[in-house]
Amino acid sequence: MLFGVCLSPEALLALSADNLKCQTQVLYPKTKSPDAKRQVVITGVGIISPLGVGWDENSRGFRAGRTAFGPITVFDSSRQRVRQGAQADLPANLPSSQFGSRLLTRLERAGRMLFVAMHQALGQAELALDERSGTNVPIVLGTTSGGMRFGEDYYREALGNLGARRFQPTRALCYQAQFQSRLVASAFGLKGPVSIIANACASGANAVGHASTLVREGIADVVITGGYDALCQLVFAGFDSLQALSPTVCRPFDARRDGLSLGEGAAVFVLESRHHARARGAPILGEIVGYAAATDTHHLTQPHPEGDAAFLSMSQACASAQLTPTDIDYVNAHGTGTPLNDSAEAAAIRRWAGARAASLPVSSTKSSIGHLLGAAGAVEVAVCLMALRGQWLPPTSTLQIPDPACLFP
């Protein structure tokens, strides 16, 4: 599945994915906002990543090109070929909410990251929710494995102790992504519909795009959206068994790149119609100006060598935003560090950008935090918003020897 979202003041975001493989391009254009049914603005952002918790820590880390890779400690990785990744430093105590301590035990690692990011986003947006307003706020979230670690615990207990009953019903219920999301929503008084998008590593940004459509089409004045995922042994072992993980370091667009690195995190946004945000005096951090989607059917795990679907996604996202490649000032690429993705993505960017490719800045922030799967696209939206507001460009921090096949000029 390929999709595009446009972010402004002023940014364009084009992302692509198809179940087991995905590409993400976040495009940052010059100031230009198209006429639309309703303008969709961002009034709150929450983020937790391997670089830290909150806007300031992450902004400093991405701007400096800091890397966050190290040994995996959140589960036993001793039997894996690769034993490193990018872990987030999850706060020991969660922020205050309507939750009781008993309910907090039903949030696993991914749900706790979502909780932290949502608390930040709602706080920055200064969004006061009452019994009525909380019912009218939809939630659209992307994830790939949600609360999978509870599922892992269930099977370990079931296999290790055939007579085990204690906590097993809770694990079976709470590992589901929709349950984790509903728990977090209820903690903040959000009672609107919850939608989960599980579209591999496009999930988070796909959720942002869908949420923006709800606001643009007048279905809702406010939508909470984003993506979240945590490191878990099942997913890690799966990527490792495919030998998709780098045994060295994730090096997007490098001639010696040898695979991706996995990370974890969450990013949540409060989206509103501009009219609604202005009416309540909310801070406006940026604007989403378009959205598009396409699908790569070339191969189950390999992108089309020329990046056909990525090219279509970027082209349609630009058309949706009434922008051209000459309006784009930065592309935050999917840039996984795998041999096939990076060359295909570079080819797609060159085709889409044309003459603009010779001077277009492109980088991959997965070089700092790895691939966050369902959280990847959402965190990259946050990174682009940070870059827009701070007027800096995030580097591909681990790039050493550029691959001629991945050069954009």
The residues annotated as belonging to the active site are 201, 334, 371
* Cβ-based neighbours of 265, under 8 Å, separated by 6 or more: 47, 48, 49, 50, 88, 113, 228, 229, 369, 372, 375, 379
**Structure token digits, residue 330:** 């930065």
Nearest Cα to Cα of residue 367 among 242, 245, 261, 247: 261
Measured CA to CA, the distance from residue 313 to residue 308 in angstroms comes to 9
Element (H, E) at 283: none
Nearest Cα to Cα of residue 362 among 385, 401, 394: 394
Residues 59, 295 contacting (CB under 8 angstroms): no
Residue 248 CB-half CA count within 13 A: 12
* Cβ-based neighbours of 307, under 8 Å, separated by 6 or more: 23, 344, 345, 346, 347, 348, 349, 351
Dihedrals φ, ψ of 361, to 5°? -70, 130
Residues 61, 89 contacting (CB under 8 angstroms): no
* Cβ-based neighbours of 310, under 8 Å, separated by 6 or more: 2, 14, 16, 23, 25, 296, 303, 334, 344, 345, 348, 349, 352
Question: To the nearest 5 percent, what fractions of the chain are helix, strand and coil?
Answer: 40, 20, 40
Considering Cα of 217, then 221, then 227, then 228, what sign does the dihedral take? negative
Measured CA to CA, the distance from residue 56 to residue 36 in angstroms comes to 32
